[in-house]
A = this chain, B = another copy of it.
Amino acid sequence: MGHSQRLQKIQAILKRRKIDAFLVSEPRNRFLLSGYLGQDHGIEESAGHLLIPKKGSPQLLTDFRFKIQAQQECRGCEVQLYSKGLIPLLKQLLPRSGAASLAFESHYTLHSTAIAYEKLASELNLSLVPLTGVVEKQRLTKSDEEIDSLKASVRLNEKVFQAVLPTIQPGETELAIALRIETTMREMGAQQPSFDTIVATGKNSALPHAVPSDTVIEANRPLMIDMGLVLDGYCSDMTRTFVPGEADDDYLKIHRLVRKAQLAAMEAIRPGISAASVDKVARRIISDAGYGEYFGHALGHGVGLAVHEGPSLSSRNRKYLREGMVVTVEPGIYLPDWGGVRLENMVLVTRDGSLNLNHDTSFLDL
**Residue pair B112, A207 in contact (C-beta under 8 Å):** no
Say if the beta carbon of A83 comes within 8 Å of chain B: yes
For the complex, what is the distance from the CA of A344 to the CA of B183, rounded to whole Å? Answer: 27
**Residue pair B297, A68 in contact (C-beta under 8 Å):** no
For the complex, what is the distance from the CA of A270 to the CA of B297, rounded to whole Å? Answer: 52
**Residue pair B43, A209 in contact (C-beta under 8 Å):** no
**Residue pair B112, A209 in contact (C-beta under 8 Å):** no
Say if the beta carbon of A41 comes within 8 Å of chain B: yes
Instruction: Please encode chain A, from 18 to 37, with 1 for each CB lying within 8 Å of some chain B CB and 0 for all others.
Output: 00000000000000000001
Q: Which of A241-276 contact B (CB under 8 A)?
A: none
One of B65, B68, B111, B196 near A111 (C-beta < 8 A): B111
Say if the beta carbon of A75 comes within 8 Å of chain B: no
One of B68, B132, B209 near A207 (C-beta < 8 A): B68
Q: How many copies does the complex hold?
A: 2
Contacts of A209 in B (CB 8 A): 38-39, 47, 65-66, 69
Instruction: Please encode chain A, from 114 to 154, with 1 for each CB lying within 8 Å of some chain B CB and 0 for all others.
Output: 11000000000000001010000000000000000000000
Q: Closest residue to A195 on the B side, CB-wise?
A: B41
**Residue pair B83, A112 in contact (C-beta under 8 Å):** no
**Residue pair B110, A108 in contact (C-beta under 8 Å):** yes
Given A112-B132, A296-B83, are A107 and B44 neighbors across the interface (CB < 8 Å)?
Answer: yes
For the complex, what is the distance from the CA of A64 to the CA of B333, rounded to whole Å? Answer: 12
Closest approach, in angstroms, between the C-beta of A196 and any C-beta of chain B? 6
Closest approach, in angstroms, between the C-beta of A193 and any C-beta of chain B? 11
Contacts of A67 in B (CB 8 A): 207
A positions within 8 Å CB-CB of B = 37-39, 41-45, 47, 63-69, 83-84, 104, 106-115, 130, 132, 175, 179, 183, 186-187, 192, 195-196, 206-211, 296-297, 308, 316, 336
